[in-house]
Amino acid sequence: MTVHWRRTRLPDRVTRENQMQLDFTDHELEFRDEVRRFIAGHYPPEVRERQQRGLEIRKQDYLAWHQAVARRGWSVPAWPIEYGGTGWTPTQRYFWDEELALADTVPIISFGTGLVGPVIYTFGTAEQKARFLPDIVAGTVWWCQGYSEPGAGSDLASLQTRAVREGDHYVVNGQKTWTTLGHFADWGFFLARTDPQARKQSGISFLLIDMRSPGVTVRPIITLDGAHEVNEVWLENVRVPVENRIHEENQGWTCAKALLAHERSGIAMVSRSKVALARLRELAAGVAERGRPLSEDPTFRRKLTGIEVDLLALEYTELRMLAAETAGNVPGVEVSMLKVRGTELQQRLNELALEAVGSHAALRVRATLAPGAGTVAMPAAVDVADTYFNMRKTSIFGGSNEIQRNILAKAVLGL
């Protein structure tokens, strides 16, 4: 049977409205300017100075910036307005992330705002919300995450930490690991097994634990770059009031899943990578062999161009998802792609920086020079190698890139 095609199957003419377009609205651009002005005017000068001098960023530095943002009312943009959210559009949230990146601010630590906060406002009781949310919004309490356990890795549900009910308390025993900045934490949110007989994901509860409770020990894990960023947390007969459990007993996995799905925005770190690319260009322009700057070496340039192109591809893929979100489509597991490609690009940028500084990459100067001893011959080389080493974590933590590809294979391709 032949279908009869008629010209009327096509519109007679195309409307010029609602056409696909790259430009942002004036309103959006005004918002961006406002954000830019706010950051320029309120970023704590002493934090900026520590960054510029290459000094370690302390707990109070992170909090100072969080508190400045909170005073402006922007510390939890993605939250429901009733709990302090801004009601921003996805585009506004994107601009906020981008401006923070372009201004090279210290991050607003997301354990409270991005992770436990949403769990509390989604699953918590009115009392729990009233007790915990305001401090998270204000940035007066530092939260940490007690999820991973030694030997569990990406297989989160195989956790061994036990919480045994004794009256109105749980007695918690176990060990957590990879707890980022846990040494700064006032409170932590933990997954613990409350029903040892249940199947893997069942029988887990979500507990909030005061890190000053007796029996809580935080031990540093030094990473290969010499930094203290992650920790082990030991829990020995830690007594946790039952009212600090979020959601029903044995329903912790529901909280955990919700949390993992949250706050994917900015995961590709495009803006941070753009800043890194600009710095890399600068670095390469300052390095020369036989008088020719590395930035003019065709082999090096071609690698930079490859990264530039891939970064654009990632940026516009993220923007497409953002536009879809704006149009009401909640992003799905496709965001795993942003994580995979984003970390691959960050790591390629680190590799090129390492190539740019050449043999000088070997120098670990900052940590070993007496203060005021002056700079080495190539100041730009300082930290390049340690950054390269440190950033290897990005393809491992938060669900390794192999796990992300497994997820994509299953969820997107139906394999």
Partner 1 sequence: MDFSFTPEQEMLRDSLARYFADRYSFSRRQAMVRSEQGWAAGTWRGLADELGVLGAGFDPDVGGLGGGAVEHLVVMEEIGRALVIEPYLETAVLGGGLLRRWNSPRAREWIGRIVDGEVRFAFAHLEPPARYDLQHVTTRATRQSDGWVLDGLKDAVRGAPFATHLLVTARTTGADHDRRGIATFLVAADAAGLALRRYATVDGSRAGDVRFTGARAELLASADDGFDALEAAVDEAIAGLCAEAVGVMRRLLADTVEYTKQRRQFDAPIAANQVLQHRMVDMYMRVEQAVSMTYLATLSLSRPPAQRMRAVSAAKVFVADAARFVGQAAVQLHGGMGMTDELAVSHYFKRATMIESQFGSADHHAHRLESLAPDA
Nearer to partner 1, 171 or 376 (CB): 376
The yes or no reply on residue 219 touching partner 1 (CB under 8 A) is no
Q: Which of 75, 91, 145, 179 binds partner 1 (CB under 8 A)?
A: 91
Q: How far is the CB of 402 from its own copies (least distance, A)?
A: 15
Closest CA to 351 of 293, 297, 306: 306
Give the angle subtended at the CA of 180 by the CAs of 177 and 184, to the nearest 5°: 115
Residues 239 and 168 sit within 8 Å (Cβ to Cβ): no
Q: Which is nearer to partner 1, 81 or 415 (CB)?
A: 415
CA dist., res. 70 & res. 118, Å (int): 17
In the bound complex, what is the minimum distance in angstroms from residue 32's beta carbon to partner 1?
Answer: 12
Cα–Cα nearest to 337, from 260, 406, 258, 415: 406
Stretch that binds partner 1, among 19-27, 36-44, 73-81, 253-261 (CB under 8 A): 19-27
Looking at residues 362 to 401 of the shown chain, list those that interact with partner 1 (rule: CB under 8 A). Answer: 362-365, 367-369, 373, 376-378, 385-386, 388-389, 392-393, 395-397, 400
Look at phi and psi of residue 161 and say left if phi exceeds 0, alpha if psi is from -120 to 50, else beta: beta
Residue 44 and residue 309: Cα distance in Å, rounded?
35
Single out the residue of 275, 258, 358 nearest to residue 311, CA to CA: 275
Longest dimension (CA), the chain: 86
Nearest residue (CB) to its own copies, 87 versus 306: 306
41 vs 298 by CB, closer to its own copies:
298
**Least Å from the CB of residue 308 to its own copies:** 15
Under the binding rule (CB under 8 A), the answer on residue 241 touching partner 1 is: no
* C-alpha neighbours within 13 Å on the C-beta side of residue 153: 7
Q: Does 199 bind partner 1 (CB under 8 A)?
A: no
Instruction: Tell me which of 22, 81, 126, 330 binds partner 1, using CB under 8 A.
Output: 22
134 binds, among its own copies, partner 1, none (CB under 5 to 8 A by kind): none
242 binds partner 1 (CB under 8 A): no
CA–CA dist 240, 40 (Å, integer): 43
Euclidean distance between the first and final Cα of the chain, in Å?
Answer: 35
Site residues for partner 1, 23-52, by CB under 8 A, read: 23-24
Task: Measure the CA–CA gap between 384 and 135, rounded to whole angstroms.
Answer: 36
Rounded Cα distance between 296 and 266, Å, is 32
| Per-residue binder mask for partner 1 (CB under 8 A), 321-360, x = binder | -xxx--x------x--x--xx---------x--xx--xxx
- Cβ closer to its own copies: 196 or 298? 298
> Which residues of this chain interact with its own copies, rule CB under 8 A?
298-299, 302
The alpha carbons of the chain give a radius of gyration, in whole angstroms, of: 24
Out of its own copies, partner 1, none, what residue 22 binds, judged by CB under 5 to 8 A for its kind, is partner 1
Q: Are 75 and 110 in contact (CB under 8 A)?
A: no
Q: Do the beta carbons of residue 398 and residue 404 sit within 8 Å?
A: no
Q: How far is the CB of 301 from its own copies (least distance, A)?
A: 9
310 binds partner 1 (CB under 8 A): yes
Active site residue 296: no
- Out of 263, 325, 334, 344, the active site residue is 263
Question: Is 9 or 302 the residue whose CB approaches its own copies more closely?
Answer: 302
Task: Provide the annotated active-site residues.
Answer: 263
